[in-house]
Amino acid sequence: MKKISLIKKWVVTQFKTKPLQSYLITSVLGVLLVVGGLFAFGVFGSGELDQSGFSYLPKREYVLGAKEDERPETLFDLLHSESPDIEDFFHNPDIAAELLVAESLVDIVDSRYALNWIYNPFLCVELSDRLGE
């Protein structure tokens, strides 16, 4: 208790003898305490700025879906596409012309992947339905 009163008297005498230095030191300490409190309570972030406010989506990366594939231009592109469609024949008659020019199956098919596409049963049904129309 006696030590606290001695410290209090010393501070008061310092303010009376050197007021400018005392107020400067006091204001710097006060600003440091306020800024430290603001950092402690999260007013100033740690470099992470919230740009859009609240969001229901979790914070993770999202992969957008692939763009719509372009229609194949050649027979090779059609045979090696991931989702071949009979509509491609109607949108590009050059593909049908390439099929008519071919003299043997080897001219059309150059890989096992393309051969599997030709034997696709769904495609055969779709072709026969289109020919029936």
50 inside domain: no
Q: Which residues contact 54 (CB under 8 A, 6 or more apart)?
A: none
11 inside domain: yes
SS3 content of the chain, % helix, strand, coil (to 5): 60, 0, 40
Q: Is the pLDDT of residue 113 over 70?
A: no
113 inside domain: yes
8 inside domain: yes
Q: Could you tell me the CA-to-CA distances from 51 to 3, 35, 48, 58, 59 in Å, in that order?
A: 52, 23, 9, 15, 13
Q: What residue numbers bound the domain in which 23 lies?
A: 2-40
Q: Is the pLDDT of residue 25 over 60?
A: yes
Q: Is the pLDDT of residue 112 over 70?
A: no
CA 51 to chain centre: 15
117 inside domain: yes
> Which of the four pLDDT bands, split at 50, 70 and 90, describes residue 120?
low
Q: Which residues contact 111 (CB under 8 A, 6 or more apart)?
A: 80
46 inside domain: no
Mark whether 127 and 79 lie in a shared domain.
yes
pLDDT tens digits along 58-110: 777 877 776 666 788 887 787 777 777 778 877 888 888 887 887 776 667 76
Q: Are 73 and 94 in contact (CB under 8 A)?
A: yes
Number of domains in the chain: 2
63 inside domain: no
Residues written for the chain? 133
Indicate yes or no: pTM above 0.95. no
Which long-range CB contacts under 8 A does 37-43 form with residues at least 24 apart?
none
